[in-house]
């Protein structure tokens, strides 16, 4: 318990320092005045992944029960403003993100099996740094604050005899953390490098706080891998 407390305090301090860093960059009149203001939109299809931490036996049970990634592709997007300098840009925005977990097929009886899919919708506030490596290649790294807006459970029942299936979507009432934060990293390429630029970029994000609220035996940590397109001015 003491170790978990120290880790939670460390994560809290890291988030505070990162936020303080970005606030300093945007509030410094000398730095802010020297760059050019830009804005844009970004959208990305993503695969969701899940990993587990906690009691060793419970972790093993969950790893056997859940697929390492959800089969569905979720579309995420954001709008942003940024301050651009010759080699680097700093930005923040507001957006929407969905993440999902999916179980393996669960045998109900001799003729039926069940698959459960959990989908979580988040409002997001991303903050990032984009660093140019060449004229067209860049890396983008930062943090995103997430607010849980809605949780849904889709139950798919499949008849193993004839292959027919039926599904029901309902509200998911488990105790999830309302707030989370992710670390984000991408390597991008600027397809169109003009006044209006177009970037493509594989992006990996990992949530740093567990999905479930409170003191639980095992917690789930969400991550995503996507391919984003950015249109920016």
pLDDT higher than 50, residue 9: no
* pLDDT higher than threshold 90 for residue 12: no
Is pLDDT larger for residue 142 or for residue 2? 142
C-alpha to C-alpha distance for 194 and 175, rounded to whole angstroms: 47
Task: Give the closest residue to 187 by CA, choosing from 129, 132, 140.
Answer: 140
Confirm if 199 and 178 have CB atoms less than 8 A apart: no
Alpha helices (H) along the chain: 2-27, 29-34, 56-65
DSSP string over 63-96: HHHB-SB-SS-EEEEEEEEEEE-SSEEEEEEEEE
At 40, list the tokens: 């844009």
Highest mean pLDDT among 11-15, 33-37, 128-132: 128-132
Digit-coded pLDDT (tens) for 52-93:
999 999 999 999 999 988 877 888 999 999 999 999 999 999
Predicted model pTM: 0.82
Q: What CA–CA distance (Å, rounded) separates 186 from 203?
A: 4
How many angstroms separate the Cα of 208 from the Cα of each of 60, 164, 177, 203?
21, 39, 12, 16
Write down all domains in the chain, each with its CATH number in brackets: 37-232 (2.40.160)
What's the pLDDT score for residue 69? 84
pLDDT tens, residue by residue, 107-166: 999 989 999 999 999 999 999 999 999 999 999 999 999 999 999 999 999 998 888 889
Rounded distance between C-alpha atoms, residue 103 and residue 105, angstroms: 6
């Amino acid at each position: 318990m003491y170790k978990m407390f120290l880790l939670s305090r460390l994560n809290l301090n890291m988030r505070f320092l990162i936020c303080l860093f970005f606030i300093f960059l945007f509030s410094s009149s000398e730095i802010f005045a020297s760059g050019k203001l830009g804005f844009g939109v970004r959208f990305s299809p993503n695969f969701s992944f899940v990993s587990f931490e906690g009691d060793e036996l419970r972790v093993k049970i969950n790893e056997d029960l859940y697929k390492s990634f959800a089969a569905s592709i979720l579309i995420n997007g954001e709008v942003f403003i940024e301050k651009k300098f010759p080699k680097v840009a700093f930005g923040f925005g507001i957006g929407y993100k969905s993440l999902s977990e999916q179980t393996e097929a669960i045998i109900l009886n001799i003729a039926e099996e069940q698959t459960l899919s959990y989908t979580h919708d988040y409002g997001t506030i991303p903050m990032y740094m984009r660093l140019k490596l060449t004229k067209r290649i860049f890396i983008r790294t930062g943090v995103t604050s997430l607010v849980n807006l809605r949780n849904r459970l889709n139950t798919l029942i499949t008849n193993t005899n004839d292959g027919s299936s039926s599904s029901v979507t309902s509200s998911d009432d488990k105790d999830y953390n309302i707030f989370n934060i992710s670390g984000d990293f991408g390597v991008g390429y600027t397809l169109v490098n003009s006044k209006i630029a177009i970037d493509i970029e594989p992006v990996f994000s990992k949530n740093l706080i567990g999905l479930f609220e409170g003191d639980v035996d095992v917690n789930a940590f969400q991550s995503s891998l996507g391919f984003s397109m950015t249109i920016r001015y």
